[in-house]
């Protein structure tokens, strides 16, 4: 046992002064209040918050400007790269990540490697391979499938390899040459087959979707979360709100591409598509906030200049720029993201919760930049920073 004493505890339940008692043997919080047990670690004047949950990362990628070069590398190279990305992510205060697409068993194996203690890192949830139409967005690292029957089989293959979520491509994307960003890809019937297969196992689903038609196809098919949703219109936002569909905006992904541009080595076509999407993004936020769509934090870490770990700190600030309060951004990155991932013991500083904690100099419910003031990081009760 150890106790963080004199803390200002900040989470979705608000802020209060308390000691936080942690049992290292179970990795869980034992009490939040007046109790003190075991070794004391004085954190007076500091804030204890839950670790961040990033709902959208790619462990196969390392934020290089042009994704084309991954295609000529062996998958084993990507695995070693992922071990470094996992460590950097955890050290930044991100204690849970969800990989939404890596080749083969890369991400499901990362999950096992972290859980077994072979590699330091955040808790990993993994989608396995993305289900994508033949030649569709990210086809070169996805599982191509056409028609409801093939899509159902492709979804079941991911479930067989232990997927925690099944991900598909409902529209084109920025980083695939020739793909039209907003154009629908998998049809509503195909997505419905994927959702049916995953739901039968109680597993959530996610759809990459930029254009409004693709967003609506996925929402009507019962998808759990819309990823990106850059061109979300009013009707799509209402559909998400009515269905309880989560939105994972990944603001840093598109903005890093726009800000770095072709001079930094990003292909011209990708920059043009990102600029186009970024222009519409503010409107998507307005519709989502007006309709009351549930927002979960995700970064798309690994895409160009979208660096594992540090980018989550930027995403917290960007969500505030687009209209959330710092406290709402905190909710999006803790309890709401945990709900989306199906985790009921992560995202709060509360009795019985996993002791995934960050100790910060400043209060993140007042200022989203406070996530940059990390003093300590705990993953399941073990101090890593
Ligand atoms: Zn992605």
- pLDDT exceeds 90 at position 307: yes
Domain at 165, CATH number: 3.20.20.140
CA of 1 to the centre of ligand 1 (A): 39
Q: In the predicted model, what is the mean pLDDT of residues 6-21?
A: 98
Residue 135's pLDDT is 95
Same domain, 41 and 95: no
Cα 44 to Cα 2, 6, 19, 277: the distances in Å are: 15, 4, 10, 45
Residue 18 DSSP SS3:
strand
The domain tally of the chain equals 2
d(C-alpha 126, C-alpha 47), whole Å: 30
Judged on CB neighbours under 10 Å (0-12, 13-18, 19+), 289 is middle
pLDDT, one tens digit per residue, over 64-95 is 999 999 999 999 999 999 999 999 999 999 99
33 neighbors 13 (Cβ within 8 angstroms): no
> Euclidean distance between the first and final Cα of the chain, in Å?
18
- pLDDT exceeds 80 at position 281: yes
Same domain, 38 and 129: no
Best CA proximity match to 68, nearest among 342, 383, 304, 242? 304
CA of 12 to the centre of ligand 1 (A): 27
Q: How confident is the model at residue 56 (pLDDT cuts 50, 70, 90)?
A: very high
Same domain, 33 and 125: no
Count CA within 13 A, CB hemisphere, residue 240.
36
Q: How confident is the model at residue 304 (pLDDT cuts 50, 70, 90)?
A: very high
Residue 289's pLDDT is 98
- Backbone angle region of 283, left / alpha / beta, with phi > 0 → left and psi within -120 to 50 → alpha: alpha
Same domain, 124 and 267: yes
CA of 169 to the centre of ligand 1 (A): 10
- pLDDT exceeds 90 at position 181: no
Best CA proximity match to 189, nearest among 143, 225, 220? 220
Same domain, 72 and 207: yes
Same domain, 38 and 68: no
Same domain, 281 and 356: no
Same domain, 178 and 292: yes
- pLDDT exceeds 80 at position 179: no
CA of 376 to the centre of ligand 1 (A): 29
- pLDDT exceeds 80 at position 317: yes
Q: In the predicted model, what is the mean pLDDT of residues 246-265?
A: 96
d(C-alpha 107, C-alpha 64), whole Å: 19
Same domain, 157 and 287: yes
CA of 120 to the centre of ligand 1 (A): 23
Asked whether the CA dihedral 169, 170, 176, 177 is positive or negative, the reply is positive
CA of 58 to the centre of ligand 1 (A): 6
Q: How confident is the model at residue 174 (pLDDT cuts 50, 70, 90)?
A: confident
CA of 64 to the centre of ligand 1 (A): 14
Residue 182's pLDDT is 85
Q: Which of 12-16, 178-182, 277-281 has the highest mean pLDDT?
A: 12-16
Residue 384's pLDDT is 97
d(C-alpha 22, C-alpha 42), whole Å: 14
Asked whether the CA dihedral 26, 27, 33, 38 is positive or negative, the reply is positive
CA of 208 to the centre of ligand 1 (A): 7
Write down the pTM of the prediction.
0.97
Instruction: State CA 229 to chain mean position distance.
Output: 14
CA of 297 to the centre of ligand 1 (A): 13
- pLDDT exceeds 90 at position 355: yes
Q: Can you read off the two tokens belonging to residue 43?
A: 């954190």
Residue 244's pLDDT is 98
Domain at 22, CATH number: 2.30.40.10
Same domain, 202 and 322: yes
Same domain, 273 and 301: yes
CA of 63 to the centre of ligand 1 (A): 12
d(C-alpha 259, C-alpha 84), whole Å: 25
283 lies in which domain range?
52-341
Cα 129 to Cα 35, 125, 134, 162, 198: the distances in Å are: 46, 13, 14, 11, 14
- pLDDT exceeds 80 at position 319: yes
pLDDT, one tens digit per residue, over 106-124 is 999 999 999 999 999 999 9
Q: What are phi and psi of 305, to 5 degrees?
A: 60, 15
- pLDDT exceeds 80 at position 178: no
CA of 177 to the centre of ligand 1 (A): 15
* Residue 377, strand partner residues: 358
Same domain, 200 and 312: yes
- pLDDT exceeds 90 at position 33: yes
Query: Which helix (H) or strand (E) element contains residue 8?
Result: strand 2-11
- pLDDT exceeds 90 at position 213: yes
- Backbone angle region of 8, left / alpha / beta, with phi > 0 → left and psi within -120 to 50 → alpha: beta
CA of 36 to the centre of ligand 1 (A): 43
Residue after which a domain boundary falls, among 308, 324, 341: 341
d(C-alpha 1, C-alpha 39), whole Å: 7
CA of 276 to the centre of ligand 1 (A): 18
Strands (E), 104-188: 123-126, 131-132, 143-144, 166-169
- pLDDT exceeds 90 at position 175: no
């Amino acid at each position: 046992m150890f106790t963080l004493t004199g803390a200002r505890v900040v989470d979705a339940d608000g802020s209060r002064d308390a000691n936080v008692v942690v049992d290292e043997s179970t990795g869980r919080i034992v009490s939040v209040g007046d109790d003190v047990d075991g070794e004391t670690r004085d954190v007076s004047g500091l804030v204890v918050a839950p670790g961040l949950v990033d709902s959208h990362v790619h462990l196969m990628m390392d934020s290089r400007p042009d994704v084309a070069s991954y295609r000529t590398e062996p998958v084993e190279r990507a695995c070693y790269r992922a071990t470094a990305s996992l460590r950097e992510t955890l050290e930044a205060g991100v204690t849970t990540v969800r990989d939404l697409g890596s080749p083969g068993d890369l991400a499901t194996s990362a999950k096992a490697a972290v859980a077994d203690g072979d590699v330091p890192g955040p808790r990993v949830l993994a989608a396995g391979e993305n289900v994508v139409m033949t030649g569709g967005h990210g086809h070169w690292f996805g599982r191509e499938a056409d028609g409801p029957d093939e899509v159902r089989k492709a979804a079941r293959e991911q479930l067989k390899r232990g997927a925690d979520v099944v991900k598909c491509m409902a529209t084109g994307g920025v980083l695939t040459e020739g793909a039209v960003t907003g154009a629908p890809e998998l049809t509503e019937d195909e997505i419905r087959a994927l959702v049916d297969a995953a739901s039968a196992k109680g597993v959530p689903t996610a759809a990459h979707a930029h254009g409004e038609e693709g967003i609506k196809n996925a929402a009507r098919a019962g998808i759990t979360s819309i990823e990106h949703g850059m061109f979300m219109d009013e009707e799509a936002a209402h559909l998400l709100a009515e269905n309880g569909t989560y939105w994972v905006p990944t603001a840093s992904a598109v903005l890093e591409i726009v800000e770095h541009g072709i001079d930094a080595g990003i292909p011209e076509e990708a920059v043009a598509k990102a600029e186009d999407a970024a222009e519409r993004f503010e409107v998507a936020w307005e519709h989502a906030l007006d309709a009351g769509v549930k927002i979960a934090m995700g970064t798309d870490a690994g895409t160009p200049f979208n660096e594992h770990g540090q980018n989550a700190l930027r995403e917290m600030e960007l969500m505030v720029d687009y209209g959330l309060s710092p406290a709402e951004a905190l909710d999006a990155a803790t309890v709401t993201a945990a709900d989306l991932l199906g985790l009921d013991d992560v995202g709060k500083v509360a009795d019985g919760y996993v002791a995934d904690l960050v100790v910060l100099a400043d209060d993140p419910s007042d200022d989203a930049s406070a996530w940059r003031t990390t003093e300590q990081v705990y993953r399941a009760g073990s101090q890593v920073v």
